[in-house]
Amino acid sequence: MSTRLKPEEKKLKVVGTRPLRPDGVPKVTGIARYGADYSAPGMLWGRILRSPHAHARIRSIDTSKAQALPGVKAVMTSADLPEQKFEYVGPERVAVNFWHMTRNIMAREKVFYEGHAVAAVAAISKSTAEEALRLIEVDYEVLPHVIDVEEAMRPDAPLLFEDMITRGIDPAPDRPSNISKRLEFKIGDLDAGFAAADEIVEASLKTAPVHQGYLEPQACLARFDPDGQAEVWASSQGHFVIRALTAKLLGMEMGNLRVHPAEIGGGFGGKNVPYVEPVALALSRKTGHPVKIVMSREEVFKACGPAPGSSMTVRIGVRKDGKIVAADGVFKFQAGAFPGSPVMNACMCAFAPYDIPNVRSVGYDVVCNRPKTAAYRAPGSPVSAYAVESVVDMAAARIGMDPLQFRLQNIARPGTPTVWGPKHTHEGFTETIQALMKHPGYRAPLGRNQGRGVASGYWFNNGGESSAAVHVNEDGTVVVATGSADLSGTRASLAMMAAETLGIDYDKVRPIVADTASIGYGHLAAGSRTTFATGIAVVEACKKVIDNLRARAAMIWDVSAEDVIWEDGCARPAGGSKGRFEPLSLKAIAAKRGVTGGPIVAEVSVNAGGVAPGFATELCDVEVDPETGQVKVLRFVAAQDVGRAIHPSYVEGQIQGGAAQGIGWALNEEYIYDEAGRLTNAGFLDYRVPVASDLPRIETVLVEVPNPNHPFGVKGVGEANIVPSLAAVSNAVSHAIGRRMTELPMSPPKILKALSSER
Amino acid sequence: MAKHHVTATVNGDVVEFLCETRQSLLDVLRDELNLTGTKEGCGTGDCGACSVTIDGRLMCSCLVLGVEAEGKAIQTIEGMAAGKDLHPLQRQFLEHAALQCGICTPGILIAARSLLERNPDPTEDEVRYWLAGNLCRCTGYHKIVDAVLDAAREMRRP
């Protein structure tokens, strides 16, 4: 069941309906081409050799035997990629250091994790490439390794980088460590805040690293021609970003690289950066042949960023009347082998749902011998929300208040300051809590061994750079081209907004994802930004087309353009000309394009601001089997403020998918290492993502408080849904067993251990 | 190493191919027969993205060798629609928005058809357990289950 809480709205014909997605048929017939589905004449197969050690110095690599194997066309190592400058570039929250990135693509001095790429081959068949890998001789000096974040922070921990001095501490430490960065956000007076509290509740919590678990392994086809021109067919969340990073890593000009967007088989943040593209292109550069690389699932788990594990402590001071007066959180995140965990997001989002006068968030970004972490759905926020929402739940219980009422009473509203400075400016948080309070599930009776948990969560959402081109075809149909990868139905939402704006039928609009040479820059399909930011570009381009159509109607009628309005897909005479002419449809004007100025086209690029955050509140009922420690999720209800649902079915799908991933994160999923620092569960048998029989129906409540900064009120829907779900499940389990759970995943052994402890 | 010559029926057509001893049926379908609708998600039989039927039996094609296809009848996603007409499952998946990225969709459609051939009137639980071998990371399965139930309803109509 899905509920929509609808705002007052002007009459919309297309937005808010549920048409079929335009890219649907090829996806149900097997015709759609994903990353691994592209081939080219003369193509070679690329394979990557990976480190068997968690931490080792590379003394030497001998590729001669592999090179000599018949059918092998090239072997590459890091020597085939240019050295990069050591500097952090871009905004702090998403800063990139190419010195690190090139070493993650292909190890140089050291390998930093099991699965770290050390060399690659291109050969005439998969099996030849595989055989060649076994002939590459790497001489390693194995070094002590460190996996756990707390252990990595100890002064005597093995160092990944002998010269890493923690950033963000003044004065700078005089000794190197694995702590890449410390950061702190603070408002108010923490001591005074806690002194004013009647109760202080504190907990220390841990989460395991989890993988995004996209079903499509990283894959690409790359071709580098002798004249320096190159093309890549990539499955990614942003082919423009793949172009920029791949060109940088290969030391080539962006203008010489054209990246085509393959269909993408899931990303969730994990396909924001290249892994195979620079390697395939470097191999193609060496051989003069197209090279295809398709990762195995084991490679995906071992080498493509999971989300970080964490160790956290949260303390909340509350008055008996239910007011939170102080909150303090310390968030230690595993960055993996190179700096750059989303701990800054975690610190910013942690207490963002609430109006708390005295708050501090402290974060640590810590390197350890695991794959470099990558973004995963609202990166950072679900982890810190798990800690904060657990302690909020404990605080509500301590003062004997209903947990939703407690949240409602402390909720941030427009004008509430955030820890990072600006004040909140959007409504919508309150409404998600109220929606659940009214939901019948919230009052439904619970049985033996059952428990109910609730939690709320905040996510920034994103705007940024997007481009859209609208072409009116000769017969009045329309092409909408954007540079935004479609992970989940955004071609439908963009076509719907175009149809609505132009006043034509949805099936007259053909949306496409254009390659990097065919449209202006489009940033990643990430941060829940596509329907928001690219949507603005599409609507602006449609408006430009409408102005053009009005001018042409005015020319045909020989009146002033001001005397022509656009309504229901037609130019109509207005003002002084009202009633003098029959309306001219888009189709009729398109037919006269030749005599009114030629093709009718508009392209618009934006850097979209006016982002409104996402907010979700979720309810989870579980039953715990006291014999086995197994947790069954009985009910899950997710209320999310979506601004406005352009295509409600796909919005529901986003929420259901986010909740399902959150349930997996809470109950099953984790990276498990052996003593040697090797990942022992790099496959879907042992790394268990939720299957259909693990989950209940996931009920959605679409709260629609429109964003005034978007033509249709869109806020972005992809990520806020996962933020509360870890804590909602944990709170439910904690209530079911009468003991506070403080570590994810809550796998059966952990539940049994908790059950054997004191209440 | 000499390749093997194999003759099989794929989606009703007799095909011949050469394959290496260790080449999986999945690799043969994708790399030799250019039927890329069958997807590789894991290569170890854990995700169901490569589901096909072999002589009517649902299998992960990554766990079958190409040489084992000799004399067998294989059905892949490319053979699911009857010419221009989508199978009711394909249509219901579109109606229900039961796919997001779509990479698991071919395997799930093949698996669901296999269920409905055996059990034309499954319960929600039966659908969930039958599809437990097919991973989907996008949808949370909710709309997939609804689409399968509605397709079953449609197919039961006389």
Residues A116 and A224 in one domain: yes
As beta bridge partners, residue A76 has A120
- pLDDT at residue A617 above 80? yes
Rounded Cα–Cα distance for residues A759 and A219 (Å):
50
Residues B70 and B97 in one domain: no
Residues B119 and B150 in one domain: yes
In sign, the C-alpha dihedral spanning B62, B64, B65, B71 is negative
- pLDDT at residue A9 above 60? no
Query: Domain for residue A389, yes or no?
Result: yes
Residues A634-640 have a mean pLDDT of: 98
Chain A segment 675-694 residues within 8 A of B by beta carbon are 683-685, 689-694
Cβ–Cβ below 8 Å for A30 and B40 = no
Residues B103 and B134 in one domain: yes
Residues A220 and A196 in one domain: no
B79, B112, B139: which is the final residue of a domain? Answer: B79
Q: How far is B132 from chain A (nearest CA, A)?
A: 5
Confidence band, pLDDT 50/70/90 cuts, at residue A233:
very high
Number of domains in chain A: 3
Q: How far is A263 from chain B (nearest CA, A)?
A: 8
Q: Which CATH number do you get for residue B31? A: 3.10.20.30
pLDDT at site A93: 86
At residue A556's C-alpha, the angle toward residues A553 and A560, to 5°, is 65
Residues A555 and A597 in one domain: yes
Q: Which of A126, A268, A653 sits opposite B97 (nearest CB)?
A: A653
What is the token pair recorded at A375? 């973004």
Measured N-to-C along each axis, helices B142-156 and B88-95 cross at an angle, to the nearest 10 degrees, of: 140
CB contacts of A32 in chain B (<8 Å) are 102
Cβ A295 vs Cβ A218: under 8 Å:
yes
Residues B94 and B75 in one domain: no
Residues A292 and A317 in one domain: no
Residues A365 and A222 in one domain: no
Q: Which CATH number do you get for residue B132? A: 1.10.150.120
Residues B48 and B102 in one domain: no
pLDDT at site A134: 98
**Range A416-425 contact pairs with CB under 8 angstroms and sequence separation of 24 or more:** A416/A355, A417/A187, A418/A348, A418/A352, A419/A185, A419/A186, A419/A187, A419/A347, A419/A348, A419/A351, A419/A352, A419/A359, A419/A360, A419/A361, A420/A185, A420/A348, A424/A352, A424/A613, A425/A612
As beta bridge partners, residue A307 has A210
- pLDDT at residue A564 above 60? yes
The residue behind tokens 């003369």 is: A42
Residues B60 and B99 in one domain: no
B23, B51, B79: which is the final residue of a domain? Answer: B79
Q: How far is A40 from chain B (nearest CA, A)?
A: 12
User: Left, alpha or beta for A172 (phi > 0: left; psi -120 to 50: alpha)?
Assistant: beta
Q: What percent of chain A is modeled with pLDDT above 90?
A: 97
pTM: 0.97
Residues B99 and B41 in one domain: no
Residues A299 and A219 in one domain: yes
Q: What is the CA radius of gyration of chain B?
A: 16
pLDDT at site A759: 75
Cβ–Cβ below 8 Å for A656 and B44 = no
A268 touches chain B (CB under 8 A): yes
A545, A577, A608: which is the final residue of a domain? Answer: A608
pLDDT at site A5: 61
Confidence band, pLDDT 50/70/90 cuts, at residue A401:
very high
Residues A525 and A570 in one domain: yes
A573, A608, A643: which is the final residue of a domain? Answer: A608
Residues 6+ apart with CB under 8 A from A573: A557, A559, A563, A564, A579, A580, A581, A583
Cβ–Cβ below 8 Å for A215 and B76 = no
* Centroid of chain to Cα A180: 23
**Range A29-33 contact pairs with CB under 8 angstroms and sequence separation of 24 or more:** A29/B37, A29/B77, A29/B78, A29/B80, A29/B81, A29/B86, A29/B90, A30/B35, A30/B36, A30/B37, A30/B38, A30/B76, A30/B77, A30/B78, A30/B80, A30/B106, A31/B37, A31/B78, A32/A263, A32/B102, A33/A262, A33/A263, A33/B36
Q: How many CB atoms lie within 10 A of CB A93?
A: 13
> Among A262, A249, A259, which Cα is nearest to A229's?
A259
Cβ–Cβ below 8 Å for B137 and A215 = yes
- pLDDT at residue A7 above 80? no
DSSP A448: T
Rounded Cα–Cα distance for residues B104 and B112 (Å):
12
Q: In terms of CA atoms, which chain A residue is nearest residue B81? A: A29
What is the token pair recorded at A83? 């050295």
Burial A597-617 (b: 16+ CB within 10 A, else e): eeebebbbbbebeebbbbbbb
Helix (H) or strand (E) holding A6: none
Residues A144-163 have a mean pLDDT of: 97
Cβ A456 vs Cβ A389: under 8 Å:
yes
Cβ–Cβ below 8 Å for B142 and A127 = no
Average pLDDT, chain A: 97
Rounded Cα–Cα distance for residues A740 and A748 (Å):
15
Q: Which CATH number do you get for residue A363? A: 3.30.365.10
Per-residue CA distances from A204 to A146, A314, A744 (Å): 21, 6, 12
First to last CA, chain A: 37
pLDDT at site A2: 65
Cβ–Cβ below 8 Å for A30 and B90 = no
Confidence band, pLDDT 50/70/90 cuts, at residue B1:
low
B interface test, pick of A124, A128, A215, A293 with most B CB neighbours within 10 Å: A215
Helix (H) or strand (E) holding A585: strand A584-585
Cβ A280 vs Cβ A232: under 8 Å:
yes
Confidence band, pLDDT 50/70/90 cuts, at residue A711:
very high
Q: Which CATH number do you get for residue A279? A: 3.90.1170.50
Query: Domain for residue A194, yes or no?
Result: yes
Q: Whole domain around residue B17: which residue ranges?
A: 4-79
Instruction: Select the more confidently predicted residue: B67 or A7.
Output: B67
**Which strands, in side-by-side order, build the sheet including A110-111?**
A110-111, A56-62, A137-142
B129 touches chain A (CB under 8 A): yes
Residues A103 and A170 in one domain: no
Cβ–Cβ below 8 Å for B143 and A217 = no
CB contacts of A127 in chain B (<8 Å) are 20, 22-23
Chain B segment 81-110 residues within 8 A of A by beta carbon are 81, 86, 90, 93-97, 99-106, 109
Residues A294 and A310 in one domain: no
CB contacts of B97 in chain A (<8 Å) are 18, 21, 489, 647, 649-650, 652-653
Rounded Cα–Cα distance for residues A512 and A235 (Å):
15
Cβ–Cβ below 8 Å for B101 and A692 = no
Residues A316 and A388 in one domain: yes
Number of domains in chain B: 2
Residues B42 and B73 in one domain: yes
Helix (H) or strand (E) holding A310: strand A310-318
Q: Which of B44, B94, B103 sits opposite A265 (nearest CB)?
A: B103
B123 touches chain A (CB under 8 A): no
B interface test, pick of A27, A33, A376, A507 with most B CB neighbours within 10 Å: A27
Per-residue CA distances from A731 to A11, A459, A618, A622 (Å): 42, 20, 11, 10
Residues A194 and A233 in one domain: no
Residues A55-81 have a mean pLDDT of: 98
Residues 6+ apart with CB under 8 A from A753: none
Q: Which of A20, A294, A698 sits opposite B142 (nearest CB)?
A: A698
Cβ–Cβ below 8 Å for A215 and B20 = no
Cβ–Cβ below 8 Å for A683 and B144 = no
Return the minimum-mean-pLDDT range out of A41-45, A578-582, A727-731: A578-582
CB contacts of B35 in chain A (<8 Å) are 30
Q: Whole domain around residue A292: which residue ranges?
A: 35-143+212-303
Residues A194-200 have a mean pLDDT of: 98
Per-residue CA distances from A736 to A452, A453, A636, A754 (Å): 7, 9, 15, 12
Residues B50 and B96 in one domain: no
Measured N-to-C along each axis, helices A277-287 and A239-250 cross at an angle, to the nearest 10 degrees, of: 50
Query: Domain for residue A426, yes or no?
Result: no
Rounded Cα–Cα distance for residues A740 and A749 (Å):
15
Cβ–Cβ below 8 Å for B40 and A217 = yes
A43 touches chain B (CB under 8 A): no
Residues 6+ apart with CB under 8 A from A586: A472, A476, A478, A502, A503, A504, A549, A569, A570
pLDDT at site B158: 84
First to last CA, chain B: 54
Residues B75 and B43 in one domain: yes
- pLDDT at residue A752 above 60? yes
B18 touches chain A (CB under 8 A): no
B128 touches chain A (CB under 8 A): yes
Q: How many CB pairs under 8 A join A and B?
A: 185
Q: In terms of CA atoms, which chain A residue is nearest residue B131? A: A692
CB contacts of B142 in chain A (<8 Å) are 652, 656, 695, 697-698
pLDDT at site A94: 87
Measured N-to-C along each axis, helices A381-398 and A725-737 cross at an angle, to the nearest 10 degrees, of: 40
CB contacts of A695 in chain B (<8 Å) are 128, 140-142
What is the token pair recorded at A688? 């268990």
B79, B113, B134: which is the final residue of a domain? Answer: B79
- pLDDT at residue A1 above 60? no
Residues B31 and B10 in one domain: yes
Residues A692-711 have a mean pLDDT of: 98
pLDDT at site A92: 87
- pLDDT at residue A453 above 80? yes
Chain A segment 659-678 residues within 8 A of B by beta carbon are 659-661
Chain A segment 196-225 residues within 8 A of B by beta carbon are 212-217
Q: In terms of CA atoms, which chain A residue is nearest residue B83? A: A29
- pLDDT at residue A625 above 90? yes
Query: Domain for residue A41, yes or no?
Result: yes
B61 touches chain A (CB under 8 A): no
Query: Domain for residue A366, yes or no?
Result: yes
Residues B116 and B53 in one domain: no
Q: In terms of CA atoms, which chain A residue is nearest residue B103? A: A265
Average pLDDT, chain B: 97
Q: Please report the DSSP string for A100-160 in residue order.
A: HHHHHHS-SSEE-STT-EEEEEEESSHHHHHHHHHH-EEEEEE-----SHHHHHSTTSPPS
B145 touches chain A (CB under 8 A): yes
A12 touches chain B (CB under 8 A): no
Grouping H, G, I as helix, E, B as strand and the rest as coil, residue A752 is helix
A608, A632, A655: which is the final residue of a domain? Answer: A608
Q: How far is A693 from chain B (nearest CA, A)?
A: 5
The answer to whether the complex's ipTM is over 0.90 is: yes
Rounded Cα–Cα distance for residues A702 and A720 (Å):
12
Rounded Cα–Cα distance for residues A545 and A331 (Å):
50
Cβ–Cβ below 8 Å for A30 and B140 = no
- pLDDT at residue A4 above 80? no
Residues A471 and A558 in one domain: yes
Query: Domain for residue A98, yes or no?
Result: yes
Query: Domain for residue A441, yes or no?
Result: no
Query: Domain for residue A756, yes or no?
Result: no
Burial A528-562 (b: 16+ CB within 10 A, else e): bbbbbbbbbbbbbbbbbbbebbbbbbbbbbebeee
In A337-487, DSSP assigns E strands to 358-367, 450-459, 464-472, 478-482
**Range B40-45 contact pairs with CB under 8 angstroms and sequence separation of 24 or more:** B40/A36, B40/A217, B40/A294, B41/A215, B41/A216, B41/A217, B41/A297, B41/A684, B41/B103, B41/B104, B41/B107, B41/B135, B42/A297, B42/A683, B42/A684, B43/A296, B43/A297, B44/A297, B44/A683, B44/A684, B44/A685
